[in-house]
Chain A
Amino acid sequence: MDEPLDFERGAPFINRIDWFTAIAALAVWFAHFMAVWCASVIWPDQAAGRIVGVALTIAAFGALYWLRRRAGKPPLHNVAGLGLAIAAVAIAFSCVPALIG
């Protein structure tokens, strides 16, 4: 009745924590984005804005790391793992303007 499909072998993610982790990871991205944007508006074209942006990025990756540990280090084909991966890529994209340009 509940056999996992072939590529989904691994823990079925019936837990709340899996969905919560994916949503929380993307929420971390959003918080990071708004914060680095605010920094760029408060310190327009100044070094302080970029430094704050980099610091926020480190904090964001830290938050993702904590979320991953809390979810029990889920693999990539798990919803939690996918959500964390997408959020990590999105945060990486979002921090590039603080470093380049």
Chain B
Amino acid sequence: MNAMLKMSQLIDGLNGRLGRGLMWLILAAVLISAGNAIVRKAFDMSSNALLEIQWYLFASVFMLGSGFAFLKNAHVRIDFISNHLSAKTRNLIDMVGIVVFLLPLCYMLITLSWPLFANAWNSGEMSQNAGGLIRWPMYGLIPLGFTLLALQGLSELIKRAAFLSGAGPDVISHIETESKDEIGHEIEEHAAHVQEEVR
């Protein structure tokens, strides 16, 4: 179990760091997109590479960030029934879901998308727009992203199992309360700040 938990920590570290890096791409996309619009109107210039890089950046964020979102328990759940279940049942449901559905899903999408990537890599496929970008990095995002998601699935599986065997905390409820505390804390801070200003 210890070796497994170690591995889970490694995966969490990888996806966590990746996610914190990816979020800057959003800022880059904002700046590039606003820049494109302004430059096009002001100087009557535009470049297809700069137009395409916008969706390259955003696609990278959500394809590679899925594992990160799973780590942060940010993929929404419809939880008005599961909230009434015991922590044990909820963890069990997650384990079954990961093994029976999530991992096969990732496996399928990786095997299906790999030929697409290999093709684009070998042929050096370019965007059909003049001055557009090379395509293989985008095709590559699909297998890579689902690999990262599968890895995170594995890590979450280990954490759920650890909880059920008494070797670890309840991560699902833990994250929930933590994020609730975070929100509560944020609101309090905000409130203090506002009151200060009103004075």
Partners in one complex: no
Chain A residues close to B by CB (< 8 Å): none
